[in-house]
Each structure stands twice: as C-alpha cells, then as structure tokens.
Structure 1
C-alpha cells in the first residue's frame, strides 16, 4: 500500500516538474528564435542576394509583433 502511495506521489510531483521544464524550454526556444535565428536568417538572405525574400519576411515579423502588442 505504501509503495502505491509512493509511486502516485512520485509521478505527481515529478510530472509537475517535467511540465514546468517543458514550459521553460518552450519559452527559451521562442526567445532564441526571435532574438537570434530570425535576424541571422534575414541578414543571411540579404547578403545572399535574396532581398525579395527577406523583405516580406521582415514585414510579416513586424506585423506580427505589432499585433501581438495590441
């Protein structure tokens, strides 16, 4: 009986910690994408001569940023 109680509490506590870690990892992933990968991608596209691809991506990102703040 104590073993079952231990297993249930163990899964409950560490399940919550795993859930918290996934939420934190998702937040870090969003930050990296916005502040690191997107600017590097846009700069790489411009240097590579693909300004016609980089400009619409920049406009879409700007519109999403404006709408997210509102």
Structure 2
C-alpha cells in the first residue's frame, strides 16, 4: 500500500516538474525566435534581394507588436 502511494505521489511530483519544464522551454523558445531568428531571417531576405517580401512581414510584425504592447 505504501508503495502504491509512493508511486502515485512520484508521478504527481515529476508530472508537475515536467509541465514546469515545458512551460519554461516554450517561453525561452518564443524569446529566442523573436530576438534572434526573426531579425536574422529578415536580414537574409534583404541581402538576398527579397525586400518586397521582407518589408510587409516587418510591417505586420510591427503592427502586431504595437497592438500586443497595449495589454
């Protein structure tokens, strides 16, 4: 009986730790894509001659950032 309680509590504790790790990883991934990968992709598009595609993407992201900053 004690073993069953121990196993159940172990799943509860490690389940909560796994959920915390997933939330932290998701937050780090969002920051990494926003701060590092998006500007690099836009710069590569401009250097590659795709200014006509990079500029609208930049404008859309800017508008979304302005609307999202009001919260």
Distance in 2 (alpha carbons) for counterparts of 1:44 and 1:35: 15
Q: Give ranges in structure 2 of 5+ residues lacking alignment.
A: none
Pairwise CA distance, 1:43:
0.1
Q: CA RMSD in A?
A: 0.5
Q: Give ranges in structure 1 of 5+ residues lacking alignment.
A: none
Pairwise CA distance, 1:31:
0.4
- 1:36 aligns to what? 36
How many residues are treated as equivalent by the alignment? 70
- 2:12 aligns to what? 12
- 1:54 aligns to what? 54
Moved over 4 A (4+): none
TM-score, L = length of structure 2: 0.96
TM-score, L = length of structure 1: 0.98
Secondary structure of the structure 1 residue equivalent to 2:49: coil
